[in-house]
Amino acid sequence: VTLLSIQRLNLLRLAPGGHVGRFCIWTEDAFRELDKLYGTWKTKSVRKTDYNLPMPLMTNSDLGRLLQATEIQNVLRAPIKRQQRRKVKKNPLKNMSLMVRLNPYSSIQKRRSLAQIVKGRSTTKR
């Protein structure tokens, strides 16, 4: 159990390590002190000079309901239905037709090397 003074709040003591999951028990007097320290949305702070609580940016926080509203759906563009598939990059060393497209002389080289291999086999069999 850790007791903290409301006048000297320390975030590292309230949430050590930045983990904001601690169970805190606040007294009624502590809430009154918070109102004096930070003020409310209607009244300014008594202890801090010219400090107002930041106003929430969203008046309606139900985002799912907002996105499904007809006013917003009419303004949104239609979703993209078809995704383009990536081309499979083929290896020219394994794909002969691609190699011929890149290097037209490669078909002649391959034929010569195959002929050389066949010629070498025929001489070793005898």
d(CA 106, CA 8): 81
Which pair of tokens denotes residue 109?
């080289």
pLDDT by residue for the chain (126 residues), tens digit each? Answer: 788 888 888 888 888 887 777 788 889 999 999 988 888 888 888 888 888 888 888 888 888 998 899 999 999 888 888 888 889 999 999 999 999 999 999 999 999 999 999 988 877 655
- Which class for 29: exposed (0-12), middle (13-18), buried (19 or more C-beta within 10 A)? exposed
Question: Quick one: which of 88, 115, 110 has its CA closest to 97?
Answer: 110
Q: Evaluate if pTM is beyond 0.75.
A: no
